[in-house]
Structures are given as structure tokens and as C-alpha cells.
Amino acid sequence: MTQINPAKKTFDIGVGGMTCASCVARVERALSKVPGVEKATVNLATEMARIETATQANAEPQTEAQLRRAIRDAGYAPRTTEAINNEEHNFKPWAGFAPVAWGLALSTPLVLPMLAEPFGWHWMLPAWVQFVLATPVQFVLGARFYKAAWHALRAFTGNMDVLVSLGTTAGWLLSVWLWLSARDGAMPHLYFEGSAVVITLVLLGKWLEARAKRQTTEAIRALHALRPDHAHWMSPDGEVDVPVDEIRVGDLIVVRPGERLPLDGELKEGATQVDESMLTGEPLPVSKSLGARLTGGSINGDGRIVMRVSAVGYETVLSHIIRLVEDAQAAKAPIQRLVDKVAEVFVPVVLFLALLTLLGWLLSGAAFETALVHAVAVLVIACPCALGLATPVAIMAGTGVAAQQGILIKDVQALEMAHRVQIVAFDKTGTLTVGRPRLTHCVSAAGQDANQALAWAAGVQSGSEHPLALAVLAAAQVRGLDVVPVHDMSAVPGKGVKATVQGRLLLLGSLRWLQQEGMAPQEWADEVAALQGQGASVSALAERTPEGVRGLLLMGFGDEPKPGAAEALAELRARGLKLVMISGDNPAAAEAMARRLGLRPEDGEVLADVLPGDKAAQVQALRATGQIVAMVGDGVNDAPALAAADVGMAMGNGTDVAMHAAGITLMRGEVALVAAALDISARSVAKIRQNLFWAFAYNVAGIPLAAMGYLNPMMAGAAMALSSVSVMGNALLLKRWKPKSEASTHAAQRA
């Protein structure tokens, strides 16, 4: 039997030893050559490789061991998840600084005479002392560069290590040659200090990078820290503390005041308030009563509660959030593809430019040592470290701070695209409105008992989770009506439901569908017009008889706008965006709700009478105008439209299907977060562009200056280290971002 859709598997493997964008390209090429690998993406900032493999019928299943071997053969060290986690857990602020300290201690005496010269102190260390100080820096502290450069050259590629090792070795060899070839008693000008300082500065830059990288992953670590290690399990013998990993779905666990909820579940005993701020960004505690949904990682208030576990392990909301953030940080933004192409040819081009610099100075009549020093400066300043870090660190910082504010960005392309959005389309029910409509009007047909008809309607709707169905069931319960058993129930997607109740063939759904089935258009015409004029959604219950379809009960439903929705839409309009509400309601009802929300039906901001299956087509029509479209929705029927939009945003209070289809999830389900998501997208993309500008600017400006002799190797090394650190620091400024609404709230509180 041929396997049409091969089973896919994703591996995340740590990669040690990468130093620049060229290393990333080399690891990706090595992994892509492994049979069965469909896609390999390497992130320099996280030092992780994500590999997607396909197990095909005619191919040997790929294993993680084969992928790790490919990484090692490429000259890098595959790292286990356990090793990475232990390193994170045991991290100390000054870890890894020892080589930098030794480099500073050995290089400082070499630099001091040069620093003293402007003050009139002319003295120089003996050549043998300079040699003794510089050689350990060159070949002991710098051994990592030689090792990595050797692996790169064996693979016929280049990277930062090749440039550093070539440049500093050339300076060291030139100094040794000048020392040994000097006349007795002469003191030649040596360049030991240049090579030693360059290596020390590169080591310092890498150490600062490592510290900054840790700050960009704080959001992930903070999410992991939300998971308690133990839970109070209610065993047959009483309350017992057990590891969370041993808890199963259906178990009862106790959560004491002030403790974190270990897992997702349902409140079975007690009442409390829960702080969900780390998960949703909502600062105010949320009241929970019996039957309420509880999310693992949130903090219990002042009540002792008992909860029944509904999800464990990777199925919990917290685990899902962590995976979304990790996926986004592991992914590669589209803009990074250009950087990767540049990185592949960057080192060979730099080597060529260094050779041209050497030959150019020699042909101009300069001494060989002068020409070589300028060529070394070109090699040192052109290291592409900042180029490889520019995009991933900005993405990590942006997605991390967004997650802390309740905005989950699982698709990096959505992050890069969102700031360009020109049209924002909204689903109505559950997105712009509360989504809990109430049955406000019941009009029975002549000779029909309204309560009897409502009981039939409740029976027909008993198996549905649709908001209008729940409203019918709630109204029947309030009136004390028994739900009537139904038979042969079948749904007509986007239109209604058919069922047999007490021998009657009943139809419940939209008036348009019922009229298509044969109900007279004039039935309830005045009542329908009045209800729709008030903004009510209308549906009806009808019976199919030998004489045709006759109406039994007209039902009008009322919903309320979400708190703050009108203000959020006004803010989006102020940003110059076009707003559209897509609704399945009739035009009168949809326009009435739109006006309550501040939308303008006369300007085409309302699309009414849209069947659930047609929402995606409406989004495609909006995109066909050539504009970038974002779709915001919450229900299962919104999933195709979310996928069809350039940027899909799912409300976190909606369905899992919608959240899977969307690139961005708004955990609080607040309309205000739409503007916040667009804002963090704009800021993240701005940081990416700034970082790329500075990364390229250092090289575009630095290489000619070094080639013309305006930068010596030490200054070039300092500039190269500064480029990487400045890119990291610029990206970390994103950590101070807060949504405008929250920032204004904090300002008001301070005032």
C-alpha cells in the first residue's frame, strides 16, 4: 500500500560553535543533504536547529542520531536538550568570562605603551616580552577560532572564525618575522598587541552576546517557570503530594490559596479568584465559580479549591502557549532569506577584498608590513556576526514581550506582515460582541402555544453549541420547560437544523432558508421588520406538513457589543485602517449592531447575509483589491477565513480550530489587542530593519576605511565587537514595549 501523505516529524537540536550567519548557512546545507529532510532552519540567536523530516515508504526512517552526526560532520557540536536546560538552570552572570579576563590581563601590558605615547612617555616592552604575552592569547585563548576555521575550510566554506584566525595569525607572524629579522640592538615596530587585542575583543563581544541572548529568551523561561513540580492529588487514601507528571485526566487535585494551578481543569469545589496575568496579560483577577474553566500556570486567590483535571502534559493551554512562542522564535522570517544569500558569499568576498587591499598597497609602493596590516584590518572588521543576529534577536524579543502581554505570535510571517495591514475584517458574534445572545422575543403562529413551540425548539437545539442554540436552551430552562426528545436530527451547514419531534418534522434556522424550503415570505413580515430594526438576529421554527412548510415560532435574539470594542475600532480607524464587519445576520440587524460599534454601513463597512462557508470568499474578495487584509475571528466557521487572510488573528476566548488557523492569537479576546498586535509587528520589523542597517553599515563603512588605512586591526576588532553588541542591545529595547491602552492606564495610575 503506497503512503500518499508521508508521516512528518520535527526535531529540535541544539547546535554549539556557531559564530555568524555563514555558520547558519553551512549547518542548514549539511542538514538538508540528509536523506528524508524536507526543511532545515537554524537560528543563530537561540543556537537551535529545527528539522522537518518525512518518513517515506521507500526510504529508511530518519533518526535524530543521523541528524546530529550531520551537524558534527559540518564542524559543529550537536547539543542535547538536557544539556541546554542544565546550562540555562545553572547560568551565572559571570559564567564564561574567564577567557576574556585572561585576554584582558595579557593584552593590557601590550597596549599601555601605545596609550602612554600621546602623553610624551616613549617606552616599549622588549620584543621577547611582547611575544610571551601575545602567544598564549593567540594560540590558547584563540584556539576556538582555529578549530572552527579548520572545520569551515574542510567544508570549503568561510565564516567569522576564518577571518579572525587569518587576520590575527598574519599579524602575529609578521611581528615574529620583524623581530627575528631585525638588526642587533634595533627595536622594530611589532604588531603583537593588535592580534592579542582583536582576539580579546572578539571574545568579549561573544560573551556580551551570550548574556544578551539569555535576556531575549526570558519570556520562554518565565512561561516554563509557571508549571509547578508537584500537585496535591486527592487519592482514595486522602490528599497526597505527587509529581505533576503522574497526574492523569479526570483526577481531582487540591489547590491551596496563593498556589499556582498545576494543570488545566474544571472547578468542582469552592470558589475563588484567579490571577491569569502571565497567560493573558489581564492584570485583574478573574472570579471562578463551580464549573468554571481553570488554566494551569495561573495563581489561585484566597480560596481553597478542588479541580478536576481536563488536560495534562503537552495538551495543556500553557504547553500550547510555550510551543507557539518557541515555534515563532525558531522560525525564520522572510526577510532573513536575503540575509542568508548575502552571508553565503560574504566571507569569500571579504577574503578577495583583503587580497586586493594587500596588492593595492604594495603596488602603491608601501612596505609589505604596512600593506599586510591594512589587509588584516579588512579581515577583522568584516566579520558577519551582526548580520546573522540582526533578524532572530528582534523576532525573539518581539514575540517574547508580545506573549507577556497576551499576544501569541506563532507565525513569523504574520509578525512581519501585520504592520502592513490596510483592511481589518471582523467576525461579529463573539469577536465584536459578547457572543452570548439572549432570546428576547418569541412570537408564536396563530393557534400555536408559545411554550410548546419553545420546548420543541429547545429539543431541536439540544445537541448544538451554537450561541443562538444555547440562548434557546437557556430561555426554555428559565421558563421551566422540559426539553423534548428528538429523532433523526441533521444539520444543514450555515442554514439550520432538521429533526423529528413527537412525530413532527421540524425545521429551525434562518428565515431565508425556511422560505427556500417553502414557508410563505409574508409570514411574520411586520414582526421581522420591527425586530431587525432593533438590531436583533432572527430565526424561526417551522413544521413541514403535507400542505407545505408553516411557521410555528419566530425568535429574536439580542447581543451586546464587547466592552471597549467601539473604542478599539476607533483607534484602528485613527491608524488609517479600513474596517469591515462580516456577519451572517440580515442587513438591518447587522447594520444596527455596526452603528452601536461605531462602524459606518454607508461606507461599505458591513457585509451582511454572509453564510459561514462564504466568509473566506469575502476575505479573498477584499484581498483582490490589492490590499493587505487581516481577519479577526473566534469560531470554527471563521477558520477558513482566518487562513485565507494575509494575517489571521484568533480570539483566545474562541475555539482551538480558529487559533490553529490563525497566525496570531489574542489571549484575552479583547478587540484592543488587535491594534496592539499591529503595533508590536511594526516595532519588531523596525528593529529588524535597524539591525540590518547597522550590520551592513558597519561593513560598508568599515571595510573601505580599513582598506584605505584609517583603521588599524585593534580599532577594527573593537568596531566588529561593537556591531554585534549594538544589534543585541537595540533588539532588547523591545522588552520595554507595552500596549498603548495598558501604558496609558499605568500613566493614569501614577498620576
Q: What is the pLDDT of residues 86-105, one digit of tens each?
A: 665 556 667 778 898 999 89
511 and 546, same domain (yes or no):
yes
Going by C-beta distance under 8 Å and a sequence separation of 6 or more, which residues neighbour residue 450? 442, 443, 444, 553
pLDDT at 265 exceeding the cut of 90: yes
Chain segment 444-468, per-residue pLDDT in tens: 988 888 999 999 999 988 877 677 8
Domain that holds residue 11: 7-89
**Which DSSP category does 382 fall into?**
T
538 and 635, same domain (yes or no):
no
Cα atoms in the Cβ-side hemisphere of radius 13 Å centred on 615: 30
Q: Record the cell numbers describing residue 312, joined without a space.
A: 495534562
Q: Is 634 part of any domain?
A: yes
pLDDT at 498 exceeding the cut of 80: yes
Q: Is 339 part of any domain?
A: no
541 and 482, same domain (yes or no):
yes
User: Is 308 strand, coil or helix?
Assistant: strand
DSSP of 40-83: EEEETTTTEEEEEEEE-TTSPPP-HHHHHHHHHHTT-EEE-HHH
What is the side-by-side strand order in the sheet with 37-43? 37-43, 48-55, 7-16, 77-79
Q: Is 463 part of any domain?
A: yes
Q: Is 231 part of any domain?
A: no
Domain boundary among 650, 672, 694: 672
Tell me the C-alpha distance between 715 and 721, whole Å. 10
Q: Record the cell numbers describing residue 162, joined without a space.
A: 576564518
Tell me the C-alpha distance between 247 and 233, whole Å. 8
Q: Mean pLDDT lowest for which of 113-122, 174-183, 345-354, 494-503?
A: 113-122
Of the two residues 309 and 81, the one the predictor is more confident about is: 309
Other beta carbons within 10 Å of 366 = 16
Average pLDDT value for residue range 259-273: 91
pLDDT at 25 exceeding the cut of 70: yes
Predicted local confidence at residue 701, as pLDDT: 83
Of the two residues 90 and 477, the one the predictor is more confident about is: 477
Is residue 421 very low, low, confident or very high in pLDDT (cuts 50, 70, 90)? very high
Given a contact cutoff of 8 angstroms between Cβ atoms, the answer to whether 37 and 52 are in contact is yes
Of the two residues 1 and 131, the one the predictor is more confident about is: 131
Predicted local confidence at residue 266, as pLDDT: 93
Cα atoms in the Cβ-side hemisphere of radius 13 Å centred on 276: 20
Q: Mean pLDDT lowest for which of 164-173, 219-228, 492-501, 739-748?
A: 739-748
Average pLDDT value for residue range 233-246: 89
Tell me the C-alpha distance between 151 and 149, whole Å. 5
- Name, of 55-59, 75-79, 91-95, 602-606, the range with top average pLDDT: 602-606
Please identify every residue annotated as catalytic: 427
At position 142, the amino acid (one-letter code) is: G
Chain segment 285-341, per-residue pLDDT in tens: 788 888 888 988 888 988 889 999 999 887 888 887 777 666 666 666 666 666 666
Alpha carbon 320 to chain centroid, angstroms: 12
Q: Is 63 part of any domain?
A: yes
Q: Is 496 part of any domain?
A: yes
522 and 604, same domain (yes or no):
no
Given a contact cutoff of 8 angstroms between Cβ atoms, the answer to whether 615 and 632 are in contact is no
Of the two residues 158 and 161, the one the predictor is more confident about is: 161
CATH number of domain containing 467: 3.40.1110.10
Chain segment 669-679, per-residue pLDDT in tens: 889 999 999 99
Predicted local confidence at residue 555, as pLDDT: 92
pLDDT at 144 exceeding the cut of 80: yes
- Burial-class residue 460 by CB neighbours within 10 Å (0-12, 13-18, 19+): buried
Chain segment 549-603, per-residue pLDDT in tens: 899 999 988 888 888 999 999 999 999 999 999 988 778 888 888 998 999 999 8
CATH number of domain containing 37: 3.30.70.100
Is residue 380 very low, low, confident or very high in pLDDT (cuts 50, 70, 90)? confident
Predicted local confidence at residue 62, as pLDDT: 54
Of the two residues 747 and 741, the one the predictor is more confident about is: 741
Of the two residues 223 and 399, the one the predictor is more confident about is: 399
Is residue 657 very low, low, confident or very high in pLDDT (cuts 50, 70, 90)? low
Q: Mean pLDDT lowest for which of 66-70, 281-285, 581-585, 684-688?
A: 281-285
CATH number of domain containing 283: 2.70.150.10
Average pLDDT value for residue range 608-620: 83
Q: Mean pLDDT lowest for which of 57-61, 536-540, 694-698?
A: 57-61
pLDDT at 51 exceeding the cut of 50: yes
Tell me the C-alpha distance between 160 and 149, whole Å. 8
pTM, 2 dp: 0.66
At position 557, the amino acid (one-letter code) is: F
470 and 533, same domain (yes or no):
yes
Average pLDDT, the chain: 81
Left (φ > 0), alpha (ψ -120 to 50) or beta: where does 600 sit? Answer: beta
455 and 523, same domain (yes or no):
yes
Cα atoms in the Cβ-side hemisphere of radius 13 Å centred on 600: 7
Predicted local confidence at residue 58, as pLDDT: 44
Nearest to 410 by CA among 642, 234, 116, 198: 642
Predicted local confidence at residue 568, as pLDDT: 93
525 and 604, same domain (yes or no):
no
pLDDT at 61 exceeding the cut of 60: no
Average pLDDT value for residue range 346-362: 87
Measured between alpha carbons, how far is residue 271 from residues 226, 235, 267, 309, 652 in Å? Answer: 22, 22, 8, 16, 23
Tell me the C-alpha distance between 443 and 644, whole Å. 39
Q: Mean pLDDT lowest for which of 21-25, 75-79, 261-265?
A: 21-25
3-state helix, strand, coil in the chain (%, to 5): 55, 20, 30
Domain boundary among 643, 672, 701: 672
Of the two residues 659 and 723, the one the predictor is more confident about is: 723
549 and 597, same domain (yes or no):
no
**What percent of the chain clears pLDDT 70, i.e. is strictly above it?**
82
Of the two residues 24 and 123, the one the predictor is more confident about is: 24
Predicted local confidence at residue 190, as pLDDT: 76
Of the two residues 202 and 557, the one the predictor is more confident about is: 557
Average pLDDT value for residue range 641-645: 84
Domain boundary among 311, 342, 357: 311
Given a contact cutoff of 8 angstroms between Cβ atoms, the answer to whether 448 and 576 are in contact is no
Q: Mean pLDDT lowest for which of 302-316, 370-384, 501-515?
A: 370-384
User: Is 186 strand, coil or helix?
Assistant: coil
Predicted local confidence at residue 119, as pLDDT: 63
426 and 485, same domain (yes or no):
no
pLDDT at 435 exceeding the cut of 90: no
446 and 534, same domain (yes or no):
yes
What total number of domains does the chain contain?
4
**What percent of the chain clears pLDDT 90, i.e. is strictly above it?**
19
pLDDT at 479 exceeding the cut of 60: yes
pLDDT at 422 exceeding the cut of 90: yes
Alpha carbon 438 to chain centroid, angstroms: 37
pLDDT at 743 exceeding the cut of 60: no
Q: Record the cell numbers describing residue 664, joined without a space.
A: 496570531
Q: Is 533 part of any domain?
A: yes
Of the two residues 315 and 114, the one the predictor is more confident about is: 315
444 and 512, same domain (yes or no):
yes
Sign of the alpha-carbon dihedral angle for 279, 282, 287, 289? negative
Of the two residues 717 and 171, the one the predictor is more confident about is: 171
Beta-strand runs (E) in 357-486: 407-409, 423-427, 438-444
Is residue 185 very low, low, confident or very high in pLDDT (cuts 50, 70, 90)? low
455 and 481, same domain (yes or no):
yes
Q: Is 81 part of any domain?
A: yes
